[in-house]
């Protein structure tokens, strides 16, 4: 198969490029900058916000004669979910509504709570006069992060000590409704990876435990291990429930953490491959099977 992989310089893209090449597939990559990724063809492209982004992808699909497009960066997911029909080959993406909800952490938390999927307590910054009030209301540290963001960018952990510092007052005063405040779950963190087919089945659902985080208590995973048994089944169950609540399809990367009482709660959902997919190689296999089926079903 000939695959166009977007965001090939990011953690998810690099991992996918290596996996695809190891399976003998021809891989073309795009990114904002020349990242040195080892692919068969590469092109620097404009930002997703540029009106030329989608036409450029369409041009490259034809130039490279690819069979499918696999997106790997969060910023482009809503665009491709809504307009992937403009590309002449299958795109591994969910529906516009599902992808749009997953793209917004506040909408995700609201939808999951409505569906009975466990999530940390959450609110908007405007619901609390100060960081100290938020910490007091949640009974412990809180996480403040952008509603729309990627990885650990803009994520801040505030405990009672920091909330009492003058700098926290200035930080809180500058927050607006583009942020979300969440209760901090102090237990083990997981990165379950799933593939949900269009018939609603889960051919793949693997629980990965994060063993180290980039910022210590928060941030992207530095390392993960695959887990099984009762520990994993609890995480897999909540991950499947989250995917069903949003009606997502395709590859899904979810952040789950345990509260102090041990309950696993969903922090956020990425409607794409994550950086740790190589730890569950069956995830890419399921995705390729789905793409091959779509390619075979497409009119000549």
More confident position, 219 or 102: 102
Specify the residue for token string 């075979």: 296
Classify residue 191 by burial, with Cβ atoms within 10 Å: 0-12, 13-18, 19+: buried
* pLDDT given at position 150: 73
pTM value surpassing 0.85: yes
Q: Which residue has the tokens 């435990």?
A: 209
Note the pLDDT of residue 166.
82
Averaged pLDDT, 58-86: 95
Q: For helices 96-103 and 229-246, what crossing angle results, to 10°?
A: 120
Tokens 């949003």, residue located = 246
Q: For the segment 200-251, what is each residue's pLDDT rounded down to a tens digit?
A: 999 999 999 998 766 556 656 678 999 999 999 999 999 999 999 999 999 9
Picking from 72, 98, 179, the residue whose alpha carbon sits closest to that of residue 134 is: 179
Identify the band that residue 35 occupies on the pLDDT scale cut at 50, 70 and 90. Answer: confident
Cα gap 233→70, rounded to integer Å: 28
Q: Are strands 250-258 and 189-190 parallel, antiparallel or unpaired?
A: antiparallel
Mean pLDDT in residue range 95-122:
97
Per-residue CA distances from 19 to 40, 277, 286 (Å): 13, 9, 13
């Amino acid at each position: 198969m000939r695959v166009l992989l977007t965001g090939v310089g990011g953690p998810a893209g690099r991992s996918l490029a290596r996996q695809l090449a190891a399976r003998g597939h021809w891989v073309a990559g795009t990114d904002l900058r020349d990242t040195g990724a080892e692919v068969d063809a590469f092109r620097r492209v404009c930002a997703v916000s540029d009106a030329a982004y989608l036409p450029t992808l369409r041009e490259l699909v034809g130039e490279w004669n690819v069979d499918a497009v696999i997106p790997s960066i969060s910023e482009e997911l809503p665009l491709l979910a809504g307009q992937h029909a403009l590309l002449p080959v299958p795109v591994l993406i969910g529906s516009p509504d599902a992808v749009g909800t997953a793209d917004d952490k506040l909408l995700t938390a609201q939808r999951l709570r409505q569906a009975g999927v466990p999530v940390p307590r959450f609110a908007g910054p405007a619901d609390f006069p100060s960081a100290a009030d938020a910490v007091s209301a949640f009974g412990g540290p809180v996480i403040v992060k952008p509603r729309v963001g990627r990885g650990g960018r803009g994520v801040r952990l505030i405990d009672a000590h920091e909330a009492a510092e003058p700098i926290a007052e200035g930080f809180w005063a500058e927050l607006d409704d583009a942020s979300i405040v969440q209760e901090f779950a102090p237990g083990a963190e997981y990165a379950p990876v799933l593939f949900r087919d269009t018939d609603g089945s889960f051919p793949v659902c693997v629980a990965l435990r994060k063993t180290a985080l980039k910022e210590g208590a928060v941030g992207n995973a530095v390392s993960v291990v695959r887990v099984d048994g009762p520990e994993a089944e609890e995480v897999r169950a909540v991950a499947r429930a989250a995917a069903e609540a949003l009606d997502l399809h395709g590859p899904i990367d979810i952040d789950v953490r345990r509260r102090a009482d041990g309950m696993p709660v969903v922090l956020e959902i990425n409607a794409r491959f994550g950086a740790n997919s190589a730890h569950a190689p069956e995830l890419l296999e399921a995705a390729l099977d789905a793409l091959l089926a779509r390619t075979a079903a497409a009119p000549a």
